[in-house]
């Protein structure tokens, strides 16, 4: 696959675009407005400039030449694979997949979702080609973390999964794991209850955010604490994944704590808004 389409140029979409372009692929990223497209382009420029300064790529400008950021979904018509990386909202994603089904002309094209929790079956069945729909879940920051979860639904063709694996591992140089089409897949099904437990501990006054995180970093060799990690993921995304997990399994450990819900309501979403459990410059 040489022609990659991405919908959404936020943190995840921009990261997927960057690794695809760094692999020499032709990339078109669709955004919902010119303002969002400009912000996405700026995000890409900053990331690639940092990568060049660190010697990870030879030329940021050369990589950027392989990326177009547009506002018309129709520009994705000729893509070999289109990866959805929009807000973690089931209605928004199903609406987008209905549109992509009409827009993407190649009958063999893969329609992939970067969702972290929404069942792939729900996205596939709104299209006329559920056999071509698969979850391809990257992790933030995409240029740094090597893991990708491959999530076929019951209707995904074996050939689609094989081609998605070849794209992820053979072309992008990532490492893939196979996941069943269950909310949260592998990583978030394990990670989110852990993060929610840390939020409940803070909410109850059991310990401060700093001490909770230091405890896991210094006592369990975690690279960062669960509350700092929630800020990196985004508290809105953390809440959305928790709600998806709870809807599917009805386990209390998946329920979003009131503190998390209030912080999301207040717009305190973590690093991307400058304030979450910690404050960022």
| Residues marked as catalytic | 116, 137, 149, 188
Instruction: Find out whether the peptide bond into 141 is cis, omega within 30 degrees of 0.
Output: yes
Calpha distance 202→267 (Å, rounded): 19
Contact 17, 44 (CB under 8 A): yes
Q: What are phi and psi of 46, to 5 degrees?
A: -65, -45
Structure tokens at 267: 């717009």
Classified as helix, coil or strand, 112 is strand
Contact 63, 22 (CB under 8 A): yes
Contact 276, 231 (CB under 8 A): yes
Strand-pair category, 133-138 with 147-152: antiparallel
Residue 111 CA: distances (Å) to CA of 135, 143, 156, 200, 213: 9, 21, 11, 37, 38
Kindly give, in sequence order, each residue whose CB lies less than 8 Å from that of residue 165, ignoring residues fewer than 6 positions away.
150, 176
Strand-pair category, 110-113 with 67-70: unpaired
Calpha distance 114→149 (Å, rounded): 9
Contact 179, 172 (CB under 8 A): no
Neighbours of 227 (CB within 10 A): 24
């Amino acid at each position: 696959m040489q022609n990659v389409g991405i919908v959404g140029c936020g943190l995840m979409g921009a990261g997927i675009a960057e690794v695809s372009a760094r692999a020499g692929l032709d990339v078109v990223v669709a955004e919902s407005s010119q303002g969002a497209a400009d912000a996405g382009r700026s995000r890409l420029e900053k990331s690639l400039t940092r990568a060049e300064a660190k010697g990870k790529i030879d030329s940021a400008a050369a990589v950027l030449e392989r990326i177009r950021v547009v506002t018309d979904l129709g520009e994705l018509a000729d893509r070999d694979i289109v990866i959805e990386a929009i807000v973690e909202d089931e209605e928004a994603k199903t609406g987008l997949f209905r549109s992509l089904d009409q827009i993407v002309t190649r009958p063999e094209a893969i329609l992939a979702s970067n969702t972290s929790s929404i069942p792939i079956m729900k996205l596939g069945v709104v299209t006329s080609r559920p056999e071509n729909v698969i979850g391809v879940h990257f992790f933030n920051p995409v240029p740094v973390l090597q893991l990708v979860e491959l999530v076929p639904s019951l209707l995904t063709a074996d050939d689609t999964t094989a081609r998605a694996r070849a794209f992820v591992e053979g072309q992008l140089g990532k490492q893939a794991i196979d996941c069943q089409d269950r909310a949260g897949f592998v990583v978030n099904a394990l990670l989110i209850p852990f993060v929610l437990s840390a939020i409940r501990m803070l909410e109850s006054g059991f310990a401060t955010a700093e001490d909770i995180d230091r405890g896991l970093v210094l006592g369990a060799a975690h690279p960062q604490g669960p509350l700092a990690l929630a800020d990196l993921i985004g508290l809105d995304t953390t809440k959305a994944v928790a709600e998806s997990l709870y809807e599917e399994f009805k386990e209390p450990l998946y329920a979003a704590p009131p503190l998390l819900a209030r912080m999301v309501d207040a717009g305190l979403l973590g690093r991307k808004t400058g304030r979450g459990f910690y404050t960022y410059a």
